[in-house]
Amino acid sequence: MDEKQIFNKEFLDLDFKLISEEINKNGFFSYDGALSENFINNIKNDVTDSGLSLNKNNVAGVYFTHGNQFFLTHMLAVSKSFFNYCTNKKVLDICTNYMGEGFRLKALRYYENFGGQVMQWHTDNRYYDGSNKDGINTKTPGLIFLAYISDVNDGEFQYIKGSHKWSLENKYNDYSIDYVEKNYKNEIVGFKKPKGSIVIYNTHGVHRAKPSKDKKLVRKSLFFQVDKELEHSEPILVKTEYMNNFDDRIKLYLGFGKKTGMEMYPN
């Protein structure tokens, strides 16, 4: 699957500098319908084929947090479409333009949020190695690519505009609902968007999935995180038959020959 089968032409034609400028200014960049219908259908099929990890000697998904979330973490081992998306030249060029040379894939997953889940406001500039239950805070520059695999009209991703500029002043990563409502209510940006839309955001920004009381809600998303710190990542499984291109940039990006050092999420 080439990049034209993954992204629409308008997204591919976007200037890297425009994306970086938006992220630097607001903490995020978003684009409606960046991903093709064909790509979305392939991801759905790959997730369905992988199934649930229950007495199954294969890579599959798990339910988490009392059934309010479903995760399929090892997408690079079950989906050639995701591999081509995650390692796409457009993605790597966006990362290079924003962070410079040398960065590593830290975490990735397909996940589903269900109604009734309450997610805390938080930042993603931390990692878990088992030594600290709250995680280890880091100032390392990083980006997260979030893509909607279903239309999202409720339970949407929310980001506090500009929070990437002040969150590093704090030594903690989690923020209470009351604190955000009191201090940053007018800076909350919600992303109700159609399937195929992408949000690229700075890992230092404060964000969450908006709580929804709709018990029938299912928000389907793809997530992967990239940053400049090269010595840590979650364990990453890759199906080698997907790897048609194995240059030095891809090798470093996927962490070949590097230690992982982080706990799998969810464990």
pLDDT of residue 2: 61
Number of C-beta neighbours around residue 87 at 10 A: 21
pLDDT of residue 23: 98
pLDDT of residue 25: 97
- Residue-level pLDDT, tens digit, the chain, 267 residues: 566 699 999 999 999 999 999 999 999 999 999 999 999 999 999 999 999 988 888 899 999 876 688 999 999 999 999 999 999 999 999 999 999 999 999 999 999 998 887 889 999 988 777 777 777 778 899 999 999 999 999 999 999 999 999 999 998 899 999 999 999 999 999 999 999 999 999 999 999 999 988 888 999 999 999 999 999 999 999 999 999 888 999 999 999 999 998 888 888
Nearest CA among 190, 213, 189 for reference residue 118? 213
Distance of alpha carbon 87 from alpha carbon 97, whole angstroms: 15
pLDDT of residue 90: 96
pLDDT of residue 1: 56
Q: Is 115 helix (H, G, I), strand (E, B) or coil?
A: coil
Distance of alpha carbon 113 from alpha carbon 155, whole angstroms: 8
pLDDT of residue 147: 98
Classify each residue of 158-169 as buried b or exposed e, where b means 16 or more C-beta atoms within 10 Å of its C-beta: bbbbbbbeebee
Q: What is the largest CA-CA distance in the chain?
A: 51
Distance of alpha carbon 73 from alpha carbon 237, whole angstroms: 9
Query: What order do you get walking across the sheet with 121-122 strand by strand?
Result: 174-175, 121-122, 207-209, 152-160, 188-193
